[in-house]
Amino acid sequence: MLRELVTNEGDLIDIVDNDHRTLERAFAEYENDSGDSWDRRGLVEYITAEMIRHMVAEEEYLYPAVQEKLPELRAAAERELSEHARFERELKALERTPSDQEEFDRRARALFQDFRQHTRGEERELLPRLHSACSARQLLALGSKITMVRSVAPTRPHPAAPDHSPANMLLNPGMGLVDRVRDALFDKQR
């Protein structure tokens, strides 16, 4: 029975940690590269898609699990959700900024630094406490759900979209489909 719930991705903690490491590598690649503005734009688009999928998964499953299992951390989870909303606004502003302008680089670097601080907070407080509060089976089931939601999540920032259940769970797959169609059209135009 447990095998049916499990994906090859791991439990919730493993997946969130892996997302954090993947994003950190992409941030470092951006910061260490002096490529042309088109290459930098492409890397930021990749980072944007990964950040959005990651944040959607956390909003749908990580933070609700924290609020359910660790009621004393409800305020912390709400702060994290507020940070996600701010990150989405910043990603949207970055999307509108021409990549050949100095402001693009300044915005990108500031966003990456803020997101690093955000992930450190999760790794220091929320994830260890959630790991202790949940059974291995619960964490595996949440990992499976996060893997599934990432596959249909939006890839572009939608700052006005809801970030709480059930509205986010209803709207995100539709926005994700629209984003993937847009991404495919954009890739064909390159």
| pTM of the shown model | 0.79
Return the biggest CA–CA distance within the chain: 54
| Interatomic CA distance for residues 65 and 81, integer angstroms | 13
Q: Where are the domains of the chain?
A: 7-189
**Is the model's pLDDT at 44 over the cut of 70?**
yes
Across the range 61-78, mean pLDDT stands at: 95
CB 62 within 8 A of CB 143: no
CB 48 within 8 A of CB 91: yes
What average pLDDT does the chain have?
83
> Poorest-confidence range of 7-16, 68-77, 154-163?
154-163
**Is the model's pLDDT at 24 over the cut of 50?**
yes
CB 117 within 8 A of CB 24: no
Report the SS3 class of residue 161: coil
